[in-house]
Amino acid sequence: MSDEKKLEELRVVIARHRLWDLIFLISGMLALMLAILTFIALFTQMLIDGAPRLSWDFFTSFPSRRPESAGILSAWVGTTLVMLVTAMAAIPLGVAAGVYLEEYAPRNLFTELIEINVTNLAGVPSIIYGLLALGLFVYQLGLGQSILAAGLTLALLILPIVIVATREAIRSIPVAIREGSYALGATKWETVADHLLPYSAPGILTGIIIGLARAIGETAPIITIGALTFIAFLPPSPIKSEFPFISFEWLTAPFTVMPIQMFNWVSRPEEEFQFNAAAAGLVLVVMTLAMNALAIYLRYRMRKKIKW
């Protein structure tokens, strides 16, 4: 009789747990649907307001006091150059730091402190990076309000993301890959370069693109270092017709980016500028979604080529 009673109590407990599982599942689905529907509603409103302004002239015109002739030429060019500097600074440094911490760094208190700080830096508000860059890059190093300063600022912002993504991707490689490489006489660097990095490339690449997708929409650190809100000229071209055909003058040029251009238009009282801001926001959202889609596609393609 006691066994039947215990069995009945166990059934009651299992039924209660299943009920809570169902409640949690429904709550999670409702929260997810609320977020998705909110994004769809905002994106649809942005599409309705901004789509009529999208034209070739909108992409090839400078900002103007007249909303009907204003464009985003200086903004998208500035965004492209800033993201180029960000990628060139953050990717090699972040991947190298992740490989070092995961494969080469000794396991001691100092290394543990570095790992904890890197993880915590991924959650620091972006305005803090802007204040750091203002004191370090703009004033101490004398870079001023330039594309180089902005790119390095955003590189600091996404560096923890790249480091964490690199480490997690390397950890996902089976230990047998390392052991097999060492058994065949490979050195640690040969193991890292020929096996660990190629096999972890999909995860690393995903983390890099997600970090860049975050950086492309940041406004606070760029405003903090003094980016211009209205600019009617382009930086010098990186390519020249004379030898050596490459110029770095654009690194020290003033700039603006898409989020700041949107902020400038939204703050204007005229309704037409709101439509311009919606069109610029639409372009920025499409660029961000395209980068995330590219990360998914590349991860899928690269993982298909991995055969363990």
pLDDT in tens, 185-205: 888 888 888 888 888 888 888
Mean pLDDT of 283-291: 84
Pair 21, 32: CB distance under 8 Å: no
pLDDT in tens, 93-130: 999 999 998 888 888 888 888 888 888 887 788 888 88
User: What percentage of residues in the chain have a pLDDT greater than 70?
Assistant: 98
Cis peptide before 244 (omega within 30 of 0): yes
pLDDT in tens, 198-241: 888 888 888 888 888 888 888 888 888 877 777 878 888 778 77
Q: Which two tokens stand for residue 173?
A: 């490689």
**Average model confidence (pLDDT) across the chain:** 85
One-letter amino acid of 215: A
pLDDT > 70? residue 2? no
Question: Which residue has tokens 């640690």?
Answer: 188
pLDDT in tens, 156-187: 999 999 999 999 888 888 888 888 888 888 88
* 31: Cα separation from own chain's centroid: 24
H or E segment and range at residue 275: helix 271-305
Return the beta strands (E) in 148-243 as ranges: none
- CA-to-CA dists, residue 94 to 117, 158, 253, 293, angstroms: 14, 9, 26, 22
Mean pLDDT of 134-156: 88
Task: In whole angstroms, give the CA distance from residue 77 to residue 145.
Answer: 16
Q: Which fold has domain 56-304?
A: MetI-like fold (1.10.3720)
Is the pTM higher than 0.85? The answer reads no
Sign of CA dihedral 81, 85, 91, 92: positive
Mean pLDDT of 62-83: 86
pLDDT of 308: 59
Q: Which two tokens stand for residue 118?
A: 């890197």
pLDDT of 224: 85
Pair 78, 235: CB distance under 8 Å: yes
